[in-house]
Chain A
Amino acid sequence: MNPVIPLDQIQDEDRDRVGGKAFSLARMVRSHVNVPHAICINTEAYNHYITSTGLRERVLFELNRKSFDEIRWEEMWDASLRIRNMFLNTPIPAELLATLTRAIDSRFSERAVVVRSSAPGEDSAKASFAGLHESYVNVRGTDSILEHIRLVWASLWSDAALLYRQELGLDVERSTMAVVVQEIVIGDRSGVVFGKNPNDPSQAVIEAVYGLNQGLVDGTVEPDRWILDRKTGQIISYTPAHRAKAVFPVREGVQLKQLPSAKLNTPPLDHSNIAQIFDHALAAETLFGEPQDMEWTFKGDMLYVIQSRPITTGLTGDSGDKRSWCLGLRRSFENLKELRRKIEGELIPAMVEEAAQLSRQDLKKLSESELLDEIKRRAAIYDKWLDVYWNEFIPFAHGARLFGQVYNDAVHPSDPYEFMDLLGATGMESLKRNRMLEDMASMIRENPHLAEALRNGKTGADGEFDKALDTFVNIFGDLFRDMAESKEQYSAITGLLLEMAGQSVAQRPFQPKDIESLERNFLSRFEGEKKAEAAELLDLARTSYQLRDDDNIHLGRIKGKMLAGIEEVKRRIEERPSDGVKTRELARLLKDPQYILKEHASADQPETDYRIKARQIVGQPAGPGIARGKARVIADPSDVFGFNGGEILVCDAVDPTMTFVVPLSAGIVERRGGMLIHGAIIAREYGLPCVTGVPDATSLIHTGDQLTVDGYLGIVIIGKTVDSSISVHGSTLAAL
């Protein structure tokens, strides 16, 4: 095996084992284009690594837990994170390591490099796959380079690659990855050139920024842009950027920094630079036989070509394709910081204010037509905030993901979700609410007289309790509107409190982890400016994590105000007994236009000779532990009120309105998948066994079914099990 080929020795027949990027660079080297020195770690290295370490099977295993059609994007992200962690924790076998170390040592010693993906087939594909795989800029030292090679290998299985697996032809048994290790050229001006403008075939486009190219490529730095005539090379138009920042190398990696004032008002390129870049683009077009999308950098007057690939249509063009929206959720640190300022400074306060304003309005005083207008207005307000939720809050959740990746890269934990402990969202609104409920439950527990009175539907037995209950309904009452009419609210809540009081306090102890030492350990992996950045990212991730829960509560309040209008309509209709309108149906329809469709959708005809039953369903492990109990399936919001202590909460998606029964439950099973979804966050917070991403959970499981929730393996078993066969350490659950 010869896993390393220097760029200048790559031959035509090497194409499949060096990948598109390395192959293009090699052809340019042979044509005397100024390309930085590089070596290619070819696909034999990847293949040897994943075969001899057993990683291939582990990846296969991870990606085949369930059918791809049933995997949400968030679950792909999770799968990708787990795979990435497998690569991080799997050392390169000794012999291969020795070969790679020798090659890297002798070529680069302590010089900084760029470690780039070079996937076979990637650049020749019809669609452009730029950005699906990773590249790392300014990596120094053999150990660090070797680690980044593993990260590039792992990026063959990135969330984006999984999303576009069909276009990529991604296949665990065949797909492979080569890596280019290229000496870094610290250019002072960098950019891209499109030999042919995708929007106008008579033009070429040059974009340029100060510093390194990363800011331009990931969209954090706005480039200056020139449109050229392809025939003459003349500049047709020039659009200057609002120059403010640029990406520069730091000791390890890169950083976005303020641009020195001298450069703020000067374009990064002059006319002769532009002509030189355009010439290179044309030369590459002749060499490769088609127009190129080329990255370049100027170091002083010296122009280097960093990479070149054919111009292809983007992946994001199809408007009906939800995947581009999913990919748009991957935000840069800079973008997330901006989003945080907007969410904390503007959106949340505005949302709180909106809910408060709606509260001040007395619906009872409105005339019927005013009331109907008000309902429409409230529905519009809710829709507006729902848009904000999807467009601003959901993308902000990526803060926690970004942190997870940085944490795992720095710490290499065996549990890829260890980072979530560090985000411990103790300030979350839903936990605050659950604590209030727990306080009231303990009042009942300590006062048998009060308990007896409540059981008989009497109030006023304990002034302090009544006050606490009023406060609770004032703060969180809106969230219950989905489930109960206002007059039923109190009895529903007291019923729940009685149930909670029946549970022993010690049942659900918080297990405080040593957060401080985790945090110290994480930060100790960084130095200087990078340390400050890591601390800033942690802080951002905590906000992101907390918001992921709070936003549901805030949105739930606004929704509650909308529903209050509908309830008022109902109340008035009920006061006119002659009216035959089925008010409950009406209210439900107003709330959920899909309802009718769902009700009338033709169900599968039952087949009389057979009965199908799920025995064991695989989801994702989202909270470690094992729980056994009866299922409580929440099909309708009001089902929550029948919840008994020790049951297992089974739902489509944990709604903020359900989380108050979480402390009562033995475990959680959720159809929606992902580690950073509401249910998983709450379950982790309470130390409950939790399995998410269970296909058809609410139809395959029925209330009263005996369930076993294996939160270690992500499995739900329906029906009786023999107690002794379910052990934490045993592997008796394996079904095959």
Chain B
Amino acid sequence: MESASQLRKTLKDLFRSQRLGVLATYGRRQPYSSLVAFAATNDLKYLVFATTRATRKYANLSMESQVALLVDNRSNQDTDFHRAIAVTALGKAEEVKESERDRFLTLYLAKHPYLEEFVNAPTCALLKVSVDRYYMVKRFQNVMELHMRR
């Protein structure tokens, strides 16, 4: 089994290799998933994504800020069953504060430079997920948890 440091490395490698993740929000007694472009902080404590404020996910977030974000490296092949890694992050999503905006925006645009116009639009919100824990699934059935201390 992996040590905590190996696990963290696996997570960082995965987050570096993937641009998109599936964000799960909840509102009106109904879960809702959306594909979002994300970026992770180096200490793995935050995941950052952007959305316009008119979206369903934003509406959901204003009612329930607890979210799940799934990031995986599947390739739609049979080998996914033993090769793919899927990570689910659980945590609380909220808009970044003005004081943090520069830091998170730089991080986000370093990974997604083509989204500059989008993120800077007045209607767009930059959000951070403060991760409480990660669930990592490898080899189809092996599940490890990484709990973050704050």
Contact = CB atoms under 8 A, between A and B. Distances in A.
A734 interface: yes
B5 to A, nearest CB: 7
Contacts of A166: none
A168 B148 CA distance: 43
Contact of A618 (B2, B78, B79, B139): B139
Interface in B1-28: 1-5, 7-8
Contacts of A64: 81-83, 139-140
Interface residues of A, number: 31
Contacts of B135: 615
Interface stretch (A387-395, A569-577, A601-609): A601-609
Given A60-B82, A612-B7, A700-B1, A617 B147 contact: no
B149 A610 contact: yes
B78 A617 contact: no
A38 interface: no
Given A610-B149, A611-B146, A736 B43 contact: no
B102 interface: no
A302 interface: no
A416 interface: no
Contact of B78 (A57, A614, A736): A57
A604 B148 contact: no
B33 to A, nearest CB: 16
B86 interface: yes
A352 B5 CA distance: 51
A722 interface: no
Given A60-B79, A607-B4, A735-B137, A615 B143 contact: yes
B149 A615 contact: no
A321 interface: no
A376 interface: no
A60 B8 contact: no
Contact of B139 (A65, A604, A696): A65
Contact of A611 (B3, B83, B143, B147): B147
Contact of A696 (B1, B141, B143): B1
A605 to B, nearest CB: 10
A608 B143 contact: no
A736 B81 contact: yes
A60 B78 contact: yes
Contacts of A271: none
Contact of B146 (A612, A696, A734, A735): A612
B144 A613 contact: yes
B141 A618 contact: yes
Nearest to B5: A607
B64 interface: no
Contact of B149 (A66, A67, A611, A733): A611
B141 A734 contact: yes
A13 interface: no
Given A609-B43, A612-B145, 4 more contacts: A65-B82, A612-B7, A715-B141, A733-B141
Shortest 3 CB-CB distances between A and B: which pairs? A64-B82, A616-B143, A615-B143
